[in-house]
Amino acid sequence: HLYISWEKPANDTRVYKYDVTIDEWSSWTDSNTPNMHWPRRLRPGENYTVSLKTRADYYFYGNCLSKLHQEQITTLSETLLLVFH
C-alpha cells in the first residue's frame, strides 16, 4: 500500500480536508491531517500522476478549493513513502 504525506499550507490556512487523486482514482482525508494511506493498490513499476487540493469549509461561503498541485511518481516493488514539499 502507498502512504502519502505532505506539508500543511502556510499562513494558518483553515483546512477541512484534502482531496487526493492518483490518475483517475480519487479519495480524500477524513480530517485536516496532511497524510493518508492510499485505499487502492498500485502496480509496481508504473508511473502515476498524484494531484492534491486543499479543501476549506467556510460556513458562509461553502467549500473553497486550493489550486491543484501535481507530482509524478513511479511505484517500486517495495513500500514507498512519498513526501510533498
The alpha carbon of 34 is separated from its chain's Cα centroid by a whole number of angstroms, namely 8
Q: What is the DSSP letter of 21?
A: E
The DSSP-derived string for 25-69 is: EEEE-SSS-SEEE-SS---TT-EEEEEEEEEEEETTTEEEE---E
**What is each CA distance from 64 to 11, 26, 56, in whole angstroms?**
16, 18, 5
**pLDDT (tens digit per residue) in 22-79:** 999 999 998 889 999 999 988 888 999 999 998 886 665 666 788 888 999 988 766 5
At 74, list the grid cell. 513511479
**pLDDT (tens digit per residue) in 62-74:** 667 888 889 999 8
**Residue 49 backbone phi and psi in degrees, to 5:** -105, 120
